[in-house]
Chain A
């Protein structure tokens, strides 16, 4: 069964801290992996997409890595800001569908 797990479930940090969100998946036969952000009551916004042949992707203060053989991805957020507060979802693409983790709820305190 294809399962995606995200750790931690929730995280509260002071502004300015660097932080790491973790995602693990059971089936390594992936096409790609995508990180999304979700604000309360809203849809999902794509942050980064890593193809299965790539090791990492960067966008501004965000860096996502992928280790397909071990079934892991991390999302690194540098110099966190209160505006980063949201739920972060990891989704693994198996070709015909995305399998989502339950998300990490991030709160950045000012």
Chain B
């Protein structure tokens, strides 16, 4: 089955700790994206990558970092510099005009 996997589904961390969210795809898509979703708001773009070893900041990149060493993988690190990290994080990949989304990771920082 082709698709996008995100792990874990739920993640809990203490304030001040960095945490890395996993995103893997076997769709052979070049472009991958990370979004953040907060209650009552639309998805907001954090980072995106059009090709391996290259990525660009989205609208809300502060406090986040990414890497794209392999086509299949696009991990997102939420650093201690992110002021409000508790949110639902969605990874997506794209072919042509359509984006395909993973199931999401809910991060709670206390």
Which residues of A approach B to under 8 Å, CB–CB? 4, 9, 31-32, 34, 36, 41-46, 49, 51, 89, 91, 93, 96-103
**Which residues from chain B contact A97 at a C-beta distance below 8 Å?**
33, 45, 48, 58
B85 sits at the interface (CB 8 A): no
Q: Say which size band chain B's interface belongs to.
A: 20 to 34
CB distance from A84 to the nearest CB of B (A): 19
Which residues of B approach A to under 8 Å, CB–CB? 4, 6, 33, 35, 40-45, 48, 56, 58, 88, 90, 92, 97-104, 106
Secondary structure at the B interface, as helix, strand, loop or mixed, is strand
A-B contact count (CB 8 A): 56
Give bound CA distance, A11 to B88, whole Å.
23
Interface contact B43-A89, CB-CB below 8 Å: yes
Give bound CA distance, A34 to B96, whole Å.
13
> Which one of B35, B45, B98, B106 contacts A46 once the chains associate, using CB atoms below 8 Å?
B98
The 7 closest A-B pairs by CB, nearest first: A100-B42, A43-B101, A44-B101, A100-B43, A43-B103, A102-B42, A32-B97
Interface contact A43-B99, CB-CB below 8 Å: no
